[in-house]
Amino acid sequence: MPFSWMDDASDEPSTDGAQARSDAYEEEVRERAGLLKRMGHDKATAIHRCLGNVAWAFTVQGVPPLTPAQIRKIVNGVYGSRK
């Protein structure tokens, strides 16, 4: 009895996995910066916290999908908006 999860085609790695991971981290940084803004923290604190959170997540293994410059750009965008 064949099952779709047993097909060889499903064993191929996803080509957009890295992009999806990067998009997820961008959204996480955006949400965290928004939360810190709503809590009354200044932009410098939000940048520091977001950089620290991403760095902490990859202290043991791996390379963060976002550079510090990208994180700063995301936080600046959140703090620049009037929402």
- Residue spans of the domains in the chain: they are 16-80
How confident is the model over 59-65, as a mean pLDDT?
Answer: 89
65: which 2 tokens?
């999908």
6: which 2 tokens?
């047993």
Calculate the average pLDDT of the chain. Answer: 87
How confident is the model over 32-43, as a mean pLDDT?
Answer: 97
Q: What is the pLDDT of residue 57?
A: 92
pTM: 0.77
12 pLDDT tier (thresholds 50, 70, 90): low
- The answer, yes or no, to whether residue 83 has pLDDT greater than 70, is no
Q: Left if phi > 0, otherwise alpha if psi is -120 to 50, otherwise beta: which for 60?
A: alpha
End-to-end CA distance of the chain: 54
Q: What is the pLDDT of residue 40?
A: 97
**Rg of the Cα atoms in the chain:** 17
- The answer, yes or no, to whether residue 46 has pLDDT greater than 60, is yes
62: which 2 tokens?
């791996």
